[in-house]
Amino acid sequence: MSISLRYEWQQRRLPIFLIVDDPAPCLNLAYYEQYFEKHTRDVPNSFTAAWADVVQEFGVRGKFSVLPIPAAIGRIDRPLPDVAPHDQAEFLRIIRERVSPQMDINIEFLTHFLAWDIRRDRPLDYTEKTMSPFTNRDHLTEYFMYGLRILDNVGLNPTGATSPGAACVEMEGAYQSAIRTAVKEVMGRPIAWYFLHVDTLSPRVLPRIMSLDRETGAGCVTMVSAGDDASWDTQFNMPSTIDSLITADGQAGRLVDLFRNESVISFHTHWQSLFSEGRATGLNDLRVTLGRIREHFGERVKWMKCSELAEVTVAQAVTRHAVVESETEITITLHSPIACPDFTATLHTDRVVHSVFIGGQRLKELPQNTPVLEAYSWSSQRGSVTWCADLPVGESVVKVS
């Protein structure tokens, strides 16, 4: 059997993340954007706190948008005309202290409605969803920097971007370049990410690297949602379709299919879907979905921020390796321009393995065929051995004997 090395997801656990679109301080975007329908305008902070409770109870990770200029009514780093100042401050406190430790906060362009004149600080006469003919890479870069600075001003530490609808999908090359530059310039982060695509049909849905400097590890990754919003219709007093994601017995649903196909497990919802016009039907149903995920997937999945998954994806792409076999051991030399916690790899070999060392440190041996690893551990399977340990910047040496 020839020797080969394959990189795995951290701890051999499938990444899972939740995307939440359209939040704004104490406001329901649908009231403004779907003005031709009847919607409740105000979202009380009791609901935002209940959402934070769910995030913390289930260890949810992923991304949570905060609109820098919701519906083009005003910047959130200034008093919003339709929100009491103390309510605005409390919303931002909840997100900053209770949600952002577990979920990436990101811009969703600026307004999710009318495009914004960043020179004159006022709305334009076309929407962000139709702004492609009126923008280019340089303008998008400034546009995104403008939004990132607003979120940074209120202490939300943004890491990426989301499109309103499929805005600028036809110019995705410029889009990804713009958010990569904006995140680097404003936040000093070399790896950016964004959410633009939904794929509810492919058996496996993975993050995609859109640009990459292999020498430095700087780049941009697109995160794709594989599961649709099961609670959108709760805005109209209709039930959620959570069984389409995962059934009560854990035997069917889109997320179950992804799990069985060893895919990244990703799904999205909307703030207005969770709010459900004040009934919180969507939020209550999300709690049920999360309970099913915990019950049926257990430790086989790892909740991750989008920024964390982007960094792991890049680390797998830029880490070079060389494998040398002697009579007594196999030496694997890894070289990476970026660090990655719990970096996991499988070596295919016919040898019977007794020990694994990395950087001179002996890793903990777990029982044979252990499906999930822990930090600084290894396990053998027939014809292979898998280990998990932090990957440092530069060179690291793994010895298998």
Task: Report residue 2's pLDDT band, with 50, 70 and 90 as the boundaries.
Answer: confident
21 and 43 assigned to the same domain: yes
105 and 27 assigned to the same domain: yes
52 and 146 assigned to the same domain: yes
254 and 328 assigned to the same domain: no
Q: Which of the listed residues 311, 346, 368 is the one where a domain comes to its end?
A: 311
266 and 394 assigned to the same domain: no
Mean pLDDT of 361-370: 97
Helices (H) and strands (E) counted in the chain, each on its own, are: 9, 21
Domain presence at residue 2 = no
129 and 267 assigned to the same domain: yes
Rg of the Cα atoms in the chain: 23
Is 89 a residue whose pLDDT tops 80?
yes
Q: The domain that contains 275 carries what CATH number?
A: 3.20.20.370
Domain presence at residue 214 = yes
Domain presence at residue 1 = no
The amino acid at residue 388 is C
Q: Which residue matches tokens 């086989």?
A: 300
367 and 346 assigned to the same domain: yes
Q: Which of the listed residues 293, 311, 329 is the one where a domain comes to its end?
A: 311
pLDDT tens-digit readout, 240-293 = 999 999 999 999 999 999 999 999 999 999 999 999 999 999 999 999 999 999
Average pLDDT score over the chain: 97
24 and 129 assigned to the same domain: yes
Q: How far is CA 332 from CA 1, 5, 167, 311, 340, in A?
A: 17, 9, 45, 22, 17
Domain presence at residue 6 = no
pLDDT tens-digit readout, 331-344 = 999 999 999 999 99
Mean pLDDT of 340-351: 96
Q: List Cβ neighbours of 59 (8 Å cut-off, separation of 6 or more).
A: 102, 303
Domain presence at residue 164 = yes
Mean pLDDT of 209-223: 98
Number of domains in the chain: 2
273 and 153 assigned to the same domain: yes
pTM tops 0.85, yes or no: yes
pLDDT tens-digit readout, 9-40 = 999 999 999 999 999 999 999 999 999 999 99
Domain presence at residue 147 = yes
Mean pLDDT of 39-58: 98
327 and 348 assigned to the same domain: yes
- Token pair recorded at residue 270: 């909307």
235 and 130 assigned to the same domain: yes
- What's residue 1's pLDDT? 56
Say how far apart CA 140 and CA 196 lie, in whole Å. Answer: 15
57 and 147 assigned to the same domain: yes
Q: What is the DSSP letter of 97?
A: I
How many Å from the N-terminal Cα to the C-terminal Cα in the chain?
Answer: 17
Concatenating the DSSP letter of every residue in 33-82 gives: HTTTS----B--HHHHHHHHHHHHHHT--EEEE--SSGGGS--TTS--TT
Domain of 38, in residue numbers = 14-311
